[in-house]
Structure 1
Amino acid sequence: MEANSPTLGFLLHDVARLLRRRFEQNARGAGLTRSQWQVLAYLSQNEGINQTGLADLLEIEAVTLGRIVDKLETQGLVERLPHPADRRSWILHLTPAARPALAQVRRLGDITRGEALVGVSEADTWSLLNTLQLLKSNLAQACEVPVCTQKRASHG
């Protein structure tokens, strides 16, 4: 690799940032922010999760998620229900009104991905997705091991 070539981390960061920016441009005027779209998308995959669990999945503070959920609840897209076993906790569900919004966000995501993948063959797309999934798995496993243990193991 050339000295001036972008590193994997910088390149992944730049691509993710540009995907977010382009999605926001495509979604402008759709009535929700990217953060609100993201909450709806994650919640659709994790119905019945509590706010703390959803905040962890999104890697945001619970207070930040609470404000987003407040807005989505006001718009009639999300409802908070009492947790059956914990009076201090709320579980989150999408309302029927959220279904058309989710369909819209999926269409916007398809448009954005299509723009990103112009000129990339289907085979290369699958290869990219498989490679990224492997990187994610490798890093998730590595994150489970404390760094000091990793360093000792490599020097031992």
Structure 2
Amino acid sequence: MILFVCSQGKLRSRTAELLALFGGVHARSAGSDKDADVPLNDALIRQATLIVCMEKKHHEAVKEFQHYGSCPAVLLGIPDEFDRLQDELVRDLIFQTRFHDTALAAAMERGAALLAAQPGYRAALGTRTPRIFGSSNEAYSVFPQ
């Protein structure tokens, strides 16, 4: 599982997660802030095969967890200045990921193309946690056929 980390787990990491999921990659997103929708935790880090951090402060937060040493982590350097699924954010996520993992970047590119082909996808896909965490967000059931 690829774990994407930003501050709140709503915009950058959630967008990256959606790109990866729609590209066929098992992915999750989390936030380093204590009040994040899905707070970064040791269980997520243990499950991850790669941790993708948006900023240095997120990488530092990951390092505080006990199981961090067992999983590689990369830093994309993407600032918190984008809206969810914003075209520039999608472009930057794919571009920066390509420096670290070309297969993941290719999957995210496929996911971006699939999402862009869905009319109204930005309105349909939310930024909250999946139902398994008690959310009623429909984002996880709006996958294209």
TM-score normalised by L of structure 2: 0.29
The structure number with the bigger radius of gyration is 1
Q: Which one has more relative contact order, counting CA pairs under 8 Å at least 6 apart?
A: 2
Structure number with the higher strand fraction is: 2
Structure number with the higher helix fraction is: 1
